Homo-oligomer: A and B are copies of this chain.
């Protein structure tokens, strides 16, 4: 497959913790030169292991305090591509997961308030071939930090 060694994994780990880490800092951590670390990161990008870098945002602080998952069921003729396209259009949709079995999709949503959430769910239900939804309200979450 792809040959990624332990040093690559350590570099990835360091970048997961802080995606803006400097090469110099990582070089010290893994005991290589700055150039060597840069070459590894470049290579991981070319391999497609690293798909990008991004900022982590506290959406609640931006006034988007509501978070939910909505399970969606579609009529049997609906294709995966169609599901993805429909749902991923809305700005409130964080991620669309297509699922094997039941439900057909799981959509991660963010909204300003409950009213806004209801509006988004209504839009999802209206779009085409949806037969039903079930929404799970998220109270909190914890991602692995280390």
How many chain copies does the complex carry?
2
- Complex: chain B residue closest to A138, CB-CB: B97
Separation in Å of the A80 CB from the closest CB of chain B?
7
Separation in Å of the A87 CB from the closest CB of chain B?
8
Given the known interface contacts A136-B106, A137-B99, the answer about A58 and B48 at a Cβ–Cβ threshold of 8 Å is: yes
Complex Cα distance, B4 from A74, in Å, reads 39
For residue A27, CB closer than 8 A to chain B, the reply is no
Across-interface contacts of A58 in B (CB, < 8 A): 48-51
Partner of A101, one of B54, B55, B136: B136
Query: What 5 A-B pairs are tightest by C-beta distance, nearest first?
Result: A19-B53, A15-B55, A100-B137, A52-B56, A19-B54
Q: Which residues of A contact B (CB under 8 A)?
A: 1-2, 4, 12, 15-20, 47-58, 61-63, 69, 80, 84, 88, 91, 93-101, 103, 106, 136-144
